[in-house]
Chains A and B, each alone.
Chain A
């Protein structure tokens, strides 16, 4: 499902002394099936953009096209539930939204709201819980008895259970341990490929953006200042510095190696694997010339 933001502007608390402008003329195109990362410094408007993707916020200027629906400033929009079924959002610290008596019921809450039959919702919940690495006995426990990491997984399962076509992730791994982070990010990627989802990831982690995204948009002071492919974006370090961002660690390591050894590696390494391969290639080349 294509999502298109056109000249979107948004002000919080419009027409009051507390009015705060959060977005100015934002243009972002999220093609169907793409993995888009939105990066930017704290307070750059990332989270505000994200809430436009399923019409939780309505633009105060411009328009947002979601699939075949158009949400436009100043036009009353009806039946937004349909959009929200198709575009699932995993908010920051989603464990705060848990409320049911048991984990199973909490995961089933979303699909049941959209009229999925109980049996089917249950089937999805059990399957997702296993996929997210929750022990089977956890399903009958109260979500408040679980550890923080497990609560996070339950909340994520609750969004995935709606089987959205577009999955929007707002810092889904903030506050998790490194292993848990990796597992969850890999799972999202796996789902993205398997189910042909359109994924939007809002993140502070340049490593995640570099590894998974095929398109990156940089937000700065409420504007979408740059968008493009990861290799182009992370190759331009000066531009990143302008927006108070850094390249991923692999790129930094590559640059240090290049400076120390006085060589130049091929392209830029967005993942550890790519960097290892690049170094190995350079080493092999070095041996040949000797």
Chain B
């Protein structure tokens, strides 16, 4: 069940996208999120879709795996699509069953919004799938660097982020273990009436919290023992390395934006 989820997961690899500097990738994604809103007609949305598929292709992540892993997102997608179909009442009526009327504009909007959504989810997933959590936090720390002047605790934020990312798989494993132990004692979250299922969450959550707090305490001790004193004067083991390819990737995005702008109406 949880094994198939791919949110926030990282798949090590050696593709072009994997090797990009995390700063380049982060900038790319943030800019892309803004650029998605430039598209406003069939051609530009098609371009968005093609561009996204190109990025997926370059990342060498199997499209099937990506789609399979994002299944929960598709439910949301279908829901928004249906909302648009049923509630936009502009343009000509395309067809009609009973009291349900589908308008041309509704279908158009539905498709466009779905593409927009899909493209955003794909690109952000590609970011986390091809960048290790540590690199992402390194990238964010550098990109947020300028905000240190306004007393933003950038290093602490980055540390918090990397610790929480680091412990997601650990907690997932632990959840699985405790779930199994309680299932062996006859408690079952997967079946029965809703009321029973909610009750079955307690035996799962309490041990999980207990162990999370214990882990946090142990980690704090371990960090202190190893002389951690915050970001002041701390040198880096992993050096970020901005290369030509990183600049090129942003240039490509700029070119793509120009194309979108040209074709939009």
A associates with B: yes
Distance (Å) between the CB of B105 and the closest chain A CB? 40
- Are B207 and A98 in contact (CB-based, < 8 A)? yes
- Are A99 and B186 in contact (CB-based, < 8 A)? no
A16 within 8 A of B: yes
Q: Which of A12, A56, A144 has the largest number of chain B CB atoms within 10 A?
A: A56
| Nearest neighbor of B3 in chain A, beta-carbon distance | A13
- Are A12 and B3 in contact (CB-based, < 8 A)? yes
- Are B207 and A99 in contact (CB-based, < 8 A)? yes
Q: Which of B11-31 contact A (CB under 8 A)?
A: 11
A159 within 8 A of B: yes
- Known interface pairs A13-B4, A16-B65, A16-B69; A96-B181 also in contact (CB < 8 Å): yes
- Are A109 and B203 in contact (CB-based, < 8 A)? yes
Could you mark each residue 45-89 of chain A with 1 if its beta carbon is under 8 Å from any beta carbon of chain B, else 0?
000000100101000000000000000000000000100110011
- Are B184 and A54 in contact (CB-based, < 8 A)? yes
Contacts of B202 in A (CB 8 A): 99
Q: Which of B3, B62, B65, B180 contacts A56 (CB 8 A)?
A: B180
A113 within 8 A of B: yes
Distance (Å) between the CB of A165 and the closest chain B CB? 14
Q: Which of B178, B185, B210 contacts A110 (CB 8 A)?
A: B185
Q: Which of B174, B186, B210 contacts A162 (CB 8 A)?
A: B186
- Are A97 and B3 in contact (CB-based, < 8 A)? no
- Are B181 and A81 in contact (CB-based, < 8 A)? no
Q: Which of B178-220 contact A (CB under 8 A)?
A: 178, 180-188, 202-203, 206-207, 210-211
Distance (Å) between the CB of B250 and the closest chain A CB? 28
Main SS class of interface, B:
helix
A188 within 8 A of B: no
Q: How far is the CA of A81 from the CA of B186 in the complex (A)?
A: 6
B264 within 8 A of A: no
Contacts of A51 in B (CB 8 A): 180
Chain B interface size, under 10 / 10 to 19 / 20 to 34 / 35 or more: 20 to 34
- Are A96 and B184 in contact (CB-based, < 8 A)? no
A94 within 8 A of B: yes
Distance (Å) between the CB of B72 and the closest chain A CB? 15
- Known interface pairs A16-B69, A98-B207, A109-B203; A84-B183 also in contact (CB < 8 Å): yes
Distance (Å) between the CB of B152 and the closest chain A CB? 36
Q: Which of A17, A54, A88, A113 contacts B187 (CB 8 A)?
A: A113
Could you mark each residue 161-184 of chain B with 1 if its beta carbon is under 8 Å from any beta carbon of chain A, else 0?
000000000000010011011111
Contacts of B184 in A (CB 8 A): 54, 56, 84, 88-89, 91, 159
Interface size of A by CB at 8 A reads 28
Q: How far is the CA of A88 from the CA of B62 in the complex (A)?
A: 41
- Are A113 and B185 in contact (CB-based, < 8 A)? yes
Q: How far is the CA of A81 from the CA of B184 in the complex (A)?
A: 8
- Are B207 and A81 in contact (CB-based, < 8 A)? no
Q: How far is the CA of A246 from the CA of B106 in the complex (A)?
A: 72
Q: How far is the CA of A88 from the CA of B203 in the complex (A)?
A: 17
Q: How far is the CA of A85 from the CA of B4 in the complex (A)?
A: 29
Q: How far is the CA of A88 from the CA of B185 in the complex (A)?
A: 7
- Are B177 and A109 in contact (CB-based, < 8 A)? no
- Known interface pairs A91-B177, A97-B207, A99-B206; A17-B11 also in contact (CB < 8 Å): yes
| Nearest neighbor of A87 in chain B, beta-carbon distance | B184
Q: How far is the CA of A85 from the CA of B187 in the complex (A)?
A: 11
Q: How far is the CA of A15 from the CA of B64 in the complex (A)?
A: 10
Contacts of A96 in B (CB 8 A): 174, 177-178, 181, 207, 211
Q: How far is the CA of A130 from the CA of B109 in the complex (A)?
A: 69
Q: Which of A12, A17, A114 contacts B186 (CB 8 A)?
A: A114
Q: How far is the CA of A162 from the CA of B187 in the complex (A)?
A: 12
Q: Which of B46-72 contact A (CB under 8 A)?
A: 62, 65, 68-69
Q: How far is the CA of A26 from the CA of B187 in the complex (A)?
A: 29
Q: How far is the CA of A162 from the CA of B183 in the complex (A)?
A: 13
Contacts of B174 in A (CB 8 A): 96
- Are A110 and B177 in contact (CB-based, < 8 A)? no
- Are A94 and B65 in contact (CB-based, < 8 A)? no
Q: Which of B11, B181, B202 has the largest number of chain A CB atoms within 10 A?
A: B181
A158 within 8 A of B: yes
Q: How far is the CA of A128 from the CA of B174 in the complex (A)?
A: 28
What 9 new A-B contacts, CB under 8 Å, besides A91-B184, A99-B207, A110-B186?
A12-B3, A15-B68, A16-B69, A51-B180, A56-B184, A99-B203, A109-B203, A159-B185, A162-B185
Q: Identify the A interface with B (CB < 8 A).
A: 12-13, 15-18, 51, 54, 56, 81, 84-85, 88-89, 91, 94, 96-99, 109-110, 113-114, 144, 158-159, 162
List 29 A-B residue pairs with CB atoms under 8 Å apart, sorted by A's residue number: A16-B3, A16-B4, A16-B65, A16-B68, A16-B69, A17-B11, A17-B62, A17-B65, A18-B11, A54-B184, A81-B188, A84-B183, A84-B184, A85-B186, A94-B181, A96-B177, A96-B207, A96-B211, A99-B202, A99-B203, A99-B206, A99-B207, A109-B185, A109-B203, A110-B186, A113-B187, A158-B185, A159-B184, A162-B185
